[in-house]
Each structure stands twice: as structure tokens, then as C-alpha cells.
Amino acid sequence: MDRGGCQMNGGGGGQTGPGRSGMISLEDLEAFTEDQLSDSGNGNLEDRGDTMEEEEEEEEGSDQLLHYWQDAARGHQVEVSEDMAEPIQQLTSNNYGRSDRQPVPFNLLTRKEKCGELLYEKRQYEKARWACITMREDTYEQSICYGFMRIMRYICQQNALGEYLGMTLPILTVVRTNEDHSVISNNVTVAYYLPAIHQAQPPQPQDSEITIEIWPAAVVYTRPFTGPTNEVTIVNQINAMAEVLESPDLCVPDSFIVAGYTNPAHSNRLNEIWFLERP
């Protein structure tokens, strides 16, 4: 099985310590400064002619971006394979400095607050197509990381159109737990919402294990949290959400969603835990 060369996933980028382990996700690829992009050969390409020298500089820039992430990832016990150079290059150049990433659309039904603090939102999501991959590796962290890397390739070029499809947020991870929500299964699903332009006719993945699924309309209860999305924090967030819901028994009891919105290297990273209302 092609695992994308990634071995572990968990905490925020660029930091180590208790509760943190390595992760390379779709959003990690935006953690470059302008100087790093310029040094890598990505900056001001319009100012240079279409010469052989420019092509060589661009190729060198792609290698430098790959090496940058390989070096950063090794500190978190993550290996990024050589064939990730092109997806890293494409996601960096397509997303750097942009604010037009498409959000997954929803209707807000209600908000529950206490003393000015948001406890949860109740939302309605409509039927839509998602590109999904379910991983069954030895650990939860490995499953998440391998799934992200393969979805990344699909977004960038490994699809029937052979082109970059566009970024949508959030990226969802479906996690499954035991009965008392104390243990997360290593059997996880990573899901990418197809941009509106591709909803009617989604480009087929070249990866045979990525499937295009039609998710039915659903009502979800969402609660924001910040920081890493490792196994410990997810279990804690599931239990915290169950405490604030008036009727948690109305929701699916053993399957939850972690939604990721912002760069994992950000000091105040934004995530959500989702509970799905029973049909």
C-alpha cells in the first residue's frame, strides 16, 4: 500500500513536548514565510522570462520546499517521501496568501451560549459529494497521516482532470470510539469536500482507495476548540461536548467528526468536534 512516506500524525507543527507529535496535513503547507517562498524559487516568477534557467530554478525551488518539510517533519518522527515534492509545490503556490478557499456550506439552526461562551452550534449541512479514504493502519496517528497525504495528491493532480482542484475547508476526519468514548479506533476516514464547480461531476481519483461518496443531509452539533488534534485531545473534546448537550443520546453514539480549519502551526489553531444527530 502506498502510504505517502508519512509515519506519524498528531500535534501542531514546529513544536514538541507532552501531548504533541508530528503531523503533515493539507494546511501545514501554508506555514511558509514570504522569504522562504522567495528563497525556494516560488516568488515573483512573473518577473523572470520563460527560460531554461527559470525552469531549473523552479525545479530547485520544489526540491527546497520538499527538503524544508522533510527536515521539519523528522523532528516529529515523520518521513515525507520524494514523490510529495509536486503536491507540496502545488499546494504552496496555489494557496499562499489566498483567502478564497471555499467553505463547506451550512445553515445555522441554533447557538447555545453560557456567560458569553459558545457551548455549541446546531447546523444543517446539505447533501454533497466528498472524496474519502479510510485507513486501517497500526495506530490512529498513522491512519490520519497516510490519509491526508493521499487526499493531498488527489487535490493536486492525481485525478481524472490532471489538475489542481482547489482547497475547501474544513477537512474532516471521521473517528470511531468504544462505548465509553475512552479509546479511538485506528480505523479512520479522511474526507475532502469537492468544490462547488466539481460537485455535479467529481473528477475520479487515480488512487483506487479514494472514493467519491454522496453524504446525505445531516444535522450536526459543533463545538470549537484550539490546539493539536491528537488522540488525547479528541477524547477530551468528545467528552466535553457530551456534557454540554442537553440530549446527547439524540446523536450517533460511537462516530464523531474532527473538523480542521486553520494551519496546525498556528499558535491558536481552530478545530471543531462534531456530533451527528441520529436520522
Residue range of the domain that includes 130: 102-136+167-277
Average pLDDT, the chain: 77
Say which CATH number the domain at 190 has.
Answer: 3.20.80.10
| Residue 82 domain-assigned (yes or no) | no
SS3 152: helix
Phi, psi angle pair for 180, to nearest 5°: -95, 15
| Residue 205 domain-assigned (yes or no) | yes
| Residue 88 domain-assigned (yes or no) | no
Full pLDDT tens readout for the chain, 279 residues? 445 443 323 333 333 333 333 344 444 444 443 344 444 444 444 444 455 455 555 566 567 777 876 675 554 455 667 877 777 677 666 655 455 578 999 999 999 999 989 999 999 999 999 999 999 877 777 777 778 888 989 998 899 999 999 989 999 999 999 988 999 988 999 999 999 999 999 999 999 999 999 999 999 999 999 887 778 889 999 999 999 998 889 999 999 999 988 754 445 678 999 999 998
Residue corresponding to grid cell 467528526 = 257
Neighbours of 85 (CB within 10 A): 19
Q: How many domains does the chain have?
A: 1
| Residue 80 domain-assigned (yes or no) | no
Model's pTM, two decimal places? 0.75
